[in-house]
Structure formats: C-alpha cells, structure tokens
Amino acid sequence: MMRCIADPAADLDIVIASDWPDWMPLGTALADPYIRVKLGRWLLRGQYTAPSAIISASDAQRVRFALLPAPDAVRLMCLAGAWTGVSSLLGLLRNVDVEAARAVLGEEAVAFASHAVLLPRPTVELMSAIGASEMPTEPRALLHCGAAMFGLAIGGIPPVLRARLRLRRPASIWMAAADACRNDSAGEDAFRAMRRLVRKSMPTWSHWFN
C-alpha cells in the first residue's frame, strides 16, 4: 500500500511519460528512487494527494488485488486469460501458434492450460462481463479478458487508485484492468475466480483475501 501511494512510478510503462522533459533521461529518473517519486507526482499532478482514499478503500478484500506487486498481478491476468479461453488455448498448443501464445501469455500460463481445463468454467454472466461471450481465439484477446476479470475482481475504486493502475506496465493491459474496475453483478464471481488462482499459484498472498 505504501509503495502504491508514495511511489506510483515504480512499475511505470515508459509510453505513459511521453511528454517527460528531454533534459532528464527517463531511465535515469526511474533508477533513482527520489527522482522517481517526483516523476510519479508529476504524472499524477492534480490527483496525487489523496492517500486516505486508498487506505480506506483497501479495507475491502477485493480492492487488495490492486495492491499486489505489479508483476504478480500481471501473472494473475495471464492465468485468468488462460482459464477463460482454455479450449482456444489448447487448440493453439497443438499447432505452430504455441510460440505466439507463450510470447503473449507467458510460459506459466501456457503450462497452466492443461490444469485449467479441469477447473469449473466461468459463469455465463462473468464471460459476458469480460467480453468473452464469443470465445476469443487470439492470445492477446485472452490476456485482455484476464485483465478485465482482474479489474472486475477489484470492483469500484477511488479515481486516485485507478490513476495509479493506469501507469503500470504493460500499459495496454493495465488500462483494460483499470477500465473494468467497477461495481458489477459479476464482480463477486470474478473475485472468487481470482482468489482461486492466487491460492493455487501465489500462496504468499492468499491470506490477504481470507
């Protein structure tokens, strides 16, 4: 939580900082913690000072997903995408598209597909909420479905927290996740699904959601 509040640029996607001044190389700014905090404030100018809203929101179990370390959160999105489109993904694995699937979803999610087929399927309502009523076939579409499920699992959040999520890399995936952070009737289904994935793949964090 403290890192999310104080150092929002820690996992910055550099495409977000397109108008960063030329006199300060972005790589240098990100490598120096003090300058990186200043960069985060600059990126969130007008929305930076509201830590109490994030602290209050994080009392809710579901919102704690937004506080997971960004790399672990992306892993969950990839696993959720593999689970959502497991039949399509298994089809890809039987032909030359397996490398494309690995490049987008990662080795862990591709390996998980053979286990995901044994898990209960997402509800019809959840599939509709993440835009997967017609089963996606492309790995990147599956990843976006996983990101949408992650956002639905979080639910409605303060604008200051949503703005922080939008800074993270890869930007396109985090934008999809942030856009899905809303109060939706499928949110509880998404939360239960993501919690199941956490318990299976990230036991270190599972107690956060008990």
- Produce one character per residue of 49-73: b if its CB has 16 or more CB atoms within 10 Å, e if not: ebeeebeebbeeebbbbbbbebeeb
* Nearest C-alpha neighbor of 198 from the set 126, 156, 150, 155: 150
Model pLDDT, residue 96? 60
* Helix, coil or strand: residue 188: helix
Distance, CA of 6 to CA of 52 (rounded, Å): 12
* Helix, coil or strand: residue 92: helix
Mean pLDDT in residue range 83-94: 81
Identify the weakest region by mean pLDDT among 144-148, 194-198, 202-206. 202-206
Identify the weakest region by mean pLDDT among 53-62, 143-152, 181-190. 53-62
Share of the chain above pLDDT 70, in %: 96
Model pLDDT, residue 76? 94
Model pLDDT, residue 49? 57
Distance, CA of 179 to CA of 175 (rounded, Å): 6
Mean pLDDT in residue range 150-163: 95
CA torsion 194→197→202→206, rounded to 10°? 60
pTM here is 0.91
Q: pLDDT-based confidence at 62, cuts 50/70/90?
A: very high
Instruction: Tell me if 153 sits within 8 A of 193, measured CB to CB.
Output: yes
Instruction: Tell me the per-residue pLDDT of 140-149, one tens digit each, with 9 for 90 and over.
Output: 999 999 999 9
Model pLDDT, residue 151? 97
Q: Is the pLDDT of residue 199 over 80?
A: yes
Cis peptide before 170 (omega within 30 of 0): yes
Model pLDDT, residue 161? 94
